[in-house]
């Protein structure tokens, strides 16, 4: 009888331990988001509408088109650099900070300044929302970045 109780208690404890979820994955902290941002250089791979439709490069404003030739480097000291992907020269620089809730970031770089809501951020993808010209009209767009190799 004692071994049956021991077995039942052991099963109950095991079930309790293994059924716990890791809530941090669903609610990333500002620190974890900072780590994700600074762990990679980011290259623009696509610009899309808010519903995921790719926007052709020739429909974008010049300041958005330029992003395709740059690697963005977010640093721990809250500086950001735009580096030419071919020459590796620093083209532009400024500062960045995450909002206290971690849902957006403020970027202060010439030609790329504002508050950008974070649509997605993980080890392999960064998507920022921006209001920028498409066909000459200001539109909400998604700037999609992948890690630069």
| The model's pTM | 0.79
Number of domains forming the structure of the chain? 1
Angle, CA of 69, 87 and 64, to the nearest 5°: 15
Is residue 7 one of the residues assigned to a domain? no
User: Beta strand 112-122 with 104-109: parallel, antiparallel or unpaired?
Assistant: antiparallel
Is residue 55 one of the residues assigned to a domain? yes
Q: For the chain, what percent of residues have pLDDT higher than 90?
A: 70
The CATH number of the domain holding residue 140 is 2.40.128.540
Range of the domain at 140: 29-147
Is residue 140 one of the residues assigned to a domain? yes
Q: What is the pLDDT of residues 102-128, one digit of tens each?
A: 899 999 998 778 999 999 999 999 999
């Amino acid at each position: 009888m004692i071994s049956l109780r021991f077995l039942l208690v052991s099963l109950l404890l095991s079930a309790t331990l293994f059924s716990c979820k890791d809530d941090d994955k669903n609610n990333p902290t500002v620190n974890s988001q900072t780590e994700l941002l600074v762990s990679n250089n980011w290259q623009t791979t696509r610009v899309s509408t808010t519903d995921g439709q790719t926007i052709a490069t020739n429909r974008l404003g010049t300041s958005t088109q330029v992003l395709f030739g740059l690697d963005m480097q977010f640093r721990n000291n809250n500086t950001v650099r735009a580096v030419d992907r071919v020459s590796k020269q620093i083209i532009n620089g400024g500062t960045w900070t995450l909002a206290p809730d971690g849902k957006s970031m403020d970027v202060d770089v010439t030609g790329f300044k504002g508050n950008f809501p974070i649509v997605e951020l993980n080890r392999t993808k960064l998507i920022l929302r921006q209001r920028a010209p498409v066909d000459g009209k200001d539109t909400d767009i998604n700037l999609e970045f992948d890690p630069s190799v």
